[in-house]
Amino acid sequence: MGKFEKEETGIEGLIVIKPTVFIDDRGFFMETYQKKDFFELGITDEFVQDNHSKSSKGVLRGLHFQKEYPQGKLVRVIKGEVYDVAVDLRKNSPTYGKYYGVLLSEENKLQFFIPKGFAHGFLVTSEEAEFVYKCTDFYHAGDEGGIIWNDKNINIEWPLEKIGGESFIIQSDKDKKWGGIV
């Protein structure tokens, strides 16, 4: 048996991963990626880039995607807490336009695998959060697309009460200008 449990989301390919955490009086140890175990979960993608971001409470990053060079992502939080969201943009998918959201935190140590063909974003619900993720393709400047966070067709139920309400959202100028799902 592998060191990871797979939780289905109802959207093909999109899964929440619970690692085995070994805890003792010194602290904890866990594997965050193991190629053989991930293959057993159905994740056969090769990861080529790791990223790390730090954000304050209320920061909403996304919803982002790459158009010509789509990226699969394996995401997790190492400090704080975020509400992480993936939206299915695969045109022939029966769940096109549907989303799944999961609370990721340093406490629950959950990971979220987002395959190619999804938009991705997160809202920081703690005072600050550090977010790390692996990508299956390199970032290509000029190739990114996005969807506005509050698109009425997707209707994401962001936990805005955790940040004090919608007026406390902090976004980049770029993220404020995205349109809706096409």
Q: Are 130 and 79 in contact (CB under 8 A)?
A: yes
Catalytic, out of 52, 64, 96, 139: 64
Angle at 144 between CA 73 and CA 7, to 5 degrees: 25
Q: Are 87 and 97 in contact (CB under 8 A)?
A: yes
Per-residue CA distances from 11 to 25, 83, 92 (Å) = 39, 18, 13
What size, in residues, is the chain?
Answer: 182
Catalytic, out of 83, 99, 100, 133: 133
Amino acid (one-letter) located at 63: L
Instruction: Please give the structure tokens belonging to residue 138.
Output: 């390199």
Helix (H) or strand (E) holding 182, with range, is none
Active-site residue flag, 133: yes
Q: Are 172 and 56 in contact (CB under 8 A)?
A: no
Instruction: Please give the structure tokens belonging to residue 91.
Output: 């045109």
**Catalytic residue annotation:** 64, 133
